[in-house]
Structure 1
Amino acid sequence: MSGLSDVVTSKPDLVVLCNKYFLDVSDNTKTWFSDYFSEHAIAFTGSDRKSLEFDSNKGKAKAAIQNHGIATAKFFQTSPGQFETEDKLPLFLPLFVKPIDAANGNGIDENSIVRDFESYQNKVKELFESYGADVLVEEVLPGREFTVAIFDDPESGLRSIMPVEIIAPMNEKGDRVLGCAAKQQNHELLRTITEPTLSAVSELAGSVFTALEVKSFGRIDIKLDTEGKPNFLEANLVPGMAPDSSYFPRACSLQHGSKSKKDLPSAMTYSEVALKIVELGLSQINTSQQVS
C-alpha cells in the first residue's frame, strides 16, 4: 500500500491500470485500484469498479447479460458435493467447468469439458480447492469462438468494434479449448471474419459492452451455439497487452477497414493501441471537468 501512497503523492495526470486490484493475502482483502484512485481524484484508464467486477466474476457477468436479454450459455455456480448424483445437476452433460475469477485461461485445460459425472466432480473439486471459490459450470457451446476488441470514445461518439476468430489447437480428446497451456504456447490461430458472422458477432459484443457499462475499452469473448447464434462468454476489461500473444492488440491489428466502409475500423499498430488507451483515459478527465 505504500507504493499506492507514493503514486498519490506524485500526482500523475493519469494512471494506466494493468490489474484490477491488490490482494492482501494476510487477510484476503482486496484494494480495488479504480476505487483507490477515484477517492484520491487521480484519473485512470478503463472502467470503474462496478464494471470491473463483471470481469472478476464471470457468473455475475453472465447473470447481468441474461437480465438484459442477451444470449449466453445456460449456467450454474456450484461447490463440491452440492449435487450428489448426475440426475440432480441443473444441466445435462457434457458441461464446461471453469473458475469464476481467473484470467489467461488459468484453471482451464483438457479436462474442462466433462462428459461424465465423475469427471464433473473431480474438476469442480480441483477448481474449488485451487481458487477457494464457487465454480462456474456452463453448457458446452460447440461453435466457432471469437474475441472482440472495442474502443469507445464518448467525446466523438465513435465506437470501434474489432472482432477476430480464435482457433485453438485440437487436444488429445478432440476438443479445441483455450486453456492456460494453449495460450502460453501461443499456437492459436487468429483470423478476420466475414459477413454475416461479422455483423452478428459485432452487434452482440456492442450490446454486452453497453449492458456492462464498460468505459473506454475492453474485450468481449463470444462463441456460437448449435444454431450458429453468437453467445456471450466473458468480459475482459483489463485486457493483456503483450505484443505477440495478447488478443486485444492482435485483434486491433487484424482489421481491414477502408474509407469506403466507414463502419469498419482500420488496423492499428501496437503503438496506436497503447496511445488510444491513454488518450481515452485523458479524455475522461476532460469529460469529468466539463460535468463539474
Structure 2
Amino acid sequence: MLIGMTYDLKDDYLAAGYPLEAVAEFDSLITIDAIDDSLRLLGYETIRIGNIKALVAFLAQGNRCDLVFNIAEGLHGLCREAQIPALLDAYEIPYVFSDSHILAVTLHKGMTKAVVREQGVPTADYFVIHDEEEIERVDLPFPLFLKPVGGGTGMGISANSIVRDKIALSYVAKLLLAEFRQPVLVETYLDGREFTVGITGTREGARAIGVMEIVVDPSCDLGVYSYKTKQEYLDFAKYHLVGGEVALECEKVALSAWNALGCRDGGRIDVKMDSLGRVNFLEVNPLAGLNPVDSDLPILCRKAGISYHELITRIMDSALLRMGKARSRCIS
C-alpha cells in the first residue's frame, strides 16, 4: 500500500516571511520523519507530498496513492484544515483522521460548542463576536475568557484572555478581531483543573488512551495555558496522568464530544472543571500535533506507556477499519 504524506512544513513558511505565531501549528522535519519511520516499519511504502499546493501539483500530474496520512493544518480561512481532505474527497482518495466536513466545523470553536451542547455534552456558556458592534451584546457573567474562534496551539491566548469587566472585554475583543481577522469566542471562565484526553478510534471503536492534567506555573501568563506557555512548556507547564473518578468523568465527557462531532481515528479533547469540580468540554483537536517530543498527545502516550509507534499503529488501524482493509502489522 502506498501512503502519501501531506503536511505544512514550518521552515518553508518561516523562510517565506510568515511570523512565528502564524505558523505555530505547522510541523517540523522531526515530526515528518517520525511518522514516516513508523509507517515504513509497518510495511507501507510512503511518499512525501507536502502542503496543499504540492498536492494539487501531485494530482494534476496524474499521480495517485492508496491512502493519505494528512496532518496539514492549512493557512488561510476557517476551512483551512478541511482544504486537503476536501480535495482528496474530490479525487476519491481515502485519508487518515476526520473528514473535510468535520474539520471545517471543529476549527470554529463556537460551532463546535453548539454541536456538543445540542448533544448534551456539558460546556461553558458562550457568545461569538463577529465584529465590534457585537461586543455590547455579550450578556454573560464575569469573569470571561476570550480567544480567536479558529486558533490553535494557544494562538491569541495570553493572560489578557481573562477579562473581568466590560472595559477589558471591549479592549481584548477589539484587539483579537484586528489581529486575527476572525470572530472571537467569549466563554464563561472556568477556574478549575484542566485536562487533555487522548483518543484513538472511530464511533463505537473510539477509546480514551489516557487523561493528562495540565498544570501551568502562575508566573507565566497568570497560569493560563497560552501560546507562550505552550512554546516554553519545559519551563512553565507540568503534565500528570490522572486516574480514578476524575479520569472517568473526563473520559466520559471527551468520548461523548468526540462521537457527537463525528471525529475519526485519533486526536485530543480538552476539558476543564468549573468552580464546583464539574467537567466541561473545552475544545477538540481532530488533527492533534504528532511531534514525538513536544506534542501533547505523544507526551500523554509516553506517560501512559504507549510508544509513538503504537500510537501511529492505532491511528492507522482505525483508518483501515473504516476502509475495510486489514489491520496494520506492528513489528516494533
Matched ranges for 1:1-292 at <5 A: 2-8=53-59, 9-21=62-74, 23=76, 32-78=83-129, 79-84=131-136, 89-152=138-201, 157=205, 159-171=207-219, 175-186=222-233, 187-255=236-304, 267-286=305-324
Counterpart for residue 27 of structure 2:
none
CA distance in 2, matches of 1:29, 1:244: 28
Shift of 1:172: 6.2
Give yes or no for contact 2:199–2:206 (8 Å, CA) kept in 1. no
Q: Which has the higher contact order (CA 8 A, sep 6+)?
A: 1
The 1:81–1:172 alpha-carbon spacing in structure 2 relative to 1, beyond 3 Å, is: farther
- Structure 1, unpaired ranges of 5+: 256-266, 288-292
CA distance in 2, matches of 1:5, 1:83: 40
Count of aligned residue pairs for this structure pair: 269
Give yes or no for contact 2:211–2:243 (8 Å, CA) kept in 1. no
Shift of 1:111: 0.5
Shift of 1:276: 2.7
CA distance in 2, matches of 1:106, 1:145: 18
- Greater Cα shift, 218-227 or 156-165: 156-165
CA distance in 2, matches of 1:215, 1:145: 23
CA distance in 1, matches of 2:191, 2:259: 26
The 1:271–1:192 alpha-carbon spacing in structure 2 relative to 1, beyond 3 Å, is: same
For the aligned residue pairs, the C-alpha RMSD in angstroms reads 2.3
State the SS of the aligned residue for 1:147. strand
- Structure 2, unpaired ranges of 5+: 1-51, 326-332
Shift of 1:38: 1.5
Shift of 1:279: 3.4
CA distance in 1, matches of 2:92, 2:75: 19
Q: Amino acid of the residue matched to residue 98 of structure 2?
A: S
Give yes or no for contact 1:14–1:282 (8 Å, CA) kept in 2. no
CA distance in 2, matches of 1:274, 1:135: 34
CA distance in 1, matches of 2:314, 2:180: 34
State the SS of the aligned residue for 2:155. coil
Shift of 1:20: 4.3
CA distance in 1, matches of 2:193, 2:116: 20
Shift of 1:227: 1.2
Give yes or no for contact 2:69–2:95 (8 Å, CA) kept in 1. yes
Q: Amino acid of the residue matched to residue 288 of structure 2?
A: P
The 1:228–1:39 alpha-carbon spacing in structure 2 relative to 1, beyond 3 Å, is: same
CA distance in 1, matches of 2:301, 2:122: 25
CA distance in 2, matches of 1:74, 1:212: 18
Give yes or no for contact 1:112–1:123 (8 Å, CA) kept in 2. yes
Shift of 1:217: 1.2
Shift of 1:153: 5.3
State the SS of the aligned residue for 1:251. helix
Shift of 1:120: 1.1
Q: Amino acid of the residue matched to residue 135 of structure 1?
A: V
CA distance in 2, matches of 1:108, 1:234: 14
The two structures have a TM-score, normalised by structure 2, of 0.75
State the SS of the aligned residue for 1:268. coil
CA distance in 2, matches of 1:161, 1:270: 13
- Greater Cα shift, 132-141 or 160-169: 160-169
